[in-house]
Copies of this chain bind each other. A is one copy, B any other.
């Protein structure tokens, strides 16, 4: 239970333990210092004859056949986002079978997964590796301690952890909108179509056992084959695996806030003046009001100037699909769908191309797509004077979001913008020291607020290029001081205990920060 081992200061200036519950951790040593020299985890060899059937009578039947036992690790994908029914369904079945102390390894969780809290309290689940949005994050931050600290990883970091063998999956559950009786599956068709299914590709390849859960069993062969038969053990047909409407769980409207629109305009103008805005450029957009506005304004700029992007990534939204279909963006590399238009596009557009998170962002590969990005615009809950970015905890210290692709994109992209208003309500977003480091400052290039733009001093090239720009370039210290002035005082820090409730892994597997228990105030 208790962490132990020496605590050291890592390259992001954070004190981190070197041993936690007997597991040795490498302190974060810099974003580009990992030089892996081992070999990948090796999945099991299996065989299968034409006489055997993979179809199971029920989820319980599949779990029994899989040999799942107490203490094992089960994995999930999050393509259904807040419309997912699989994770809750599986944990209910595990509870019914009397299984205990499972470690869950979802690629992300959402408010719909609040029942996990009950499964923790009952002992079905005792460890979490994966992001904890909403109620589960709040429980982990303030409730009874898990058997081991939760581990948060970026999308690329999760793929890496599977390939490197850091997390060995005993049983992967894959919700499949379209699946045949041999396990070939995709997310394109059916009542629960979710678009890409890439987040389960690594699970399917590396897990000891793989169970497909589908509400749409189609005739062999199901194509395209995002998941391949050769990796699948069992298949279960259920009534419904997800609600596609729940996929649209984040903000899908362009911001109307004048301050946020100004931020979006600043980013697009910065891109225009950057020297990299030319035919063939690339960018990563995301969801959230500011990011959607940047995508739209960037489209306006492309239309005006005739400059076209060769490709873009995102969570894909209608705004990216519009640019693709208008011919302003040549291709989309598509890791997840954020709205229904994105699902339609993946089905219809040959240049909307599904990729896995490893292809997207695994640092322990011979090259991932984030390395080819020219521009990326990301968000933050806090930014500090060292350009460190927090996306996991709020200023009250409570875990509320996953890392997503943030760390990966920040490290890979040519210019990484962090878009954030200087204040949220009365809270400054730029602080002296972030509560949690989610992405190290060395990977963050430009902070864009409505009251000014701060360039990371490491980016001497950008500072030089923008020294005569009409854009409001300012030192981050100035922005910080202005934020404090507007807030009226330096904001109070949350009251944190000694207990480490979660670890923030860097994408290379090193330890970037720890998240501590939040103590009751007052």
Residues of A at the B interface (CB closer than 8 Å) are: 32, 34-50, 54, 163-164, 182-183, 210, 219-221, 223-225, 228-233, 280, 282, 310-311, 330-331, 333, 351, 353, 355, 358-359, 362-369, 371-372, 412, 414, 508
Contact = CB atoms under 8 A, between A and B. Distances in A.
A104 to B, nearest CB: 23
Given A36-B47, A182-B371, A220-B282, 6 more contacts: A40-B42, A40-B44, A41-B42, A45-B364, A220-B372, A223-B331
Nearest to A370: B50
B183 A366 contact: yes
B45 A36 contact: yes
A360 to B, nearest CB: 10
A164 B47 CA distance: 12
Contacts of A39: 42-45
B54 A367 contact: yes
A371 B311 contact: no
A479 B32 CA distance: 71
Nearest to A232: B366
B40 A363 contact: no
A367 B40 contact: no
B45 A38 contact: yes
Contact of A230 (B50, B164, B365): B365
12 contacts: A39-B44, A45-B164, A48-B371, A182-B367, A219-B310, A221-B311, A221-B331, A221-B333, A228-B359, A229-B366, A229-B369, A230-B362
A485 to B, nearest CB: 38
A368 B230 contact: yes
Nearest to A372: B220
Nearest to A362: B230
A48 B331 CA distance: 23
A372 B50 contact: yes
Given A40-B44, A364-B46, A367-B230, A220 B359 contact: no
Given A223-B351, A228-B359, A230-B359, A366 B46 contact: yes
Contact of A50 (B49, B50, B412): B412
Query: Does more than half of chain A's interface fall in helix, strand or loop, or is it mixed?
Result: loop
A330 to B, nearest CB: 8
A341 to B, nearest CB: 20
Given A232-B367, A367-B230, A220 B311 contact: yes
A285 to B, nearest CB: 16
6 A-B pairs closest in CB distance: A230-B365, A36-B45, A39-B42, A48-B367, A50-B371, A42-B42
A231 B231 CA distance: 19
- Highest count of chain B CB atoms <10 Å: which of A38, A49, A282, A333: A49
A49 B37 contact: no
A284 to B, nearest CB: 13
Contacts of A330: 219
A322 B361 CA distance: 41
A371 B45 contact: no
A40 B38 contact: no
A367 B183 contact: yes
- Highest count of chain B CB atoms <10 Å: which of A221, A228, A351, A369: A221
A364 B34 CA distance: 34
A322 B367 CA distance: 40
Contacts of A42: 39-42
A353 B221 CA distance: 10
B49 A230 contact: no
A51 to B, nearest CB: 9
A44 B38 CA distance: 6
Contacts of A221: 311, 331, 333, 353, 369, 372
A47 B363 contact: yes
Contacts of A219: 280, 310, 330
Contacts of A358: 230
Nearest to A48: B367
Contacts of A164: 45
Contacts of A37: 44-45
A233 to B, nearest CB: 6
A32 B40 CA distance: 29
Given A221-B333, A353-B221, A366-B233, A32 B45 contact: no
- Highest count of chain B CB atoms <10 Å: which of A164, A233, A364: A364
A38 B331 CA distance: 41
Nearest to A330: B219
A310 B230 contact: no
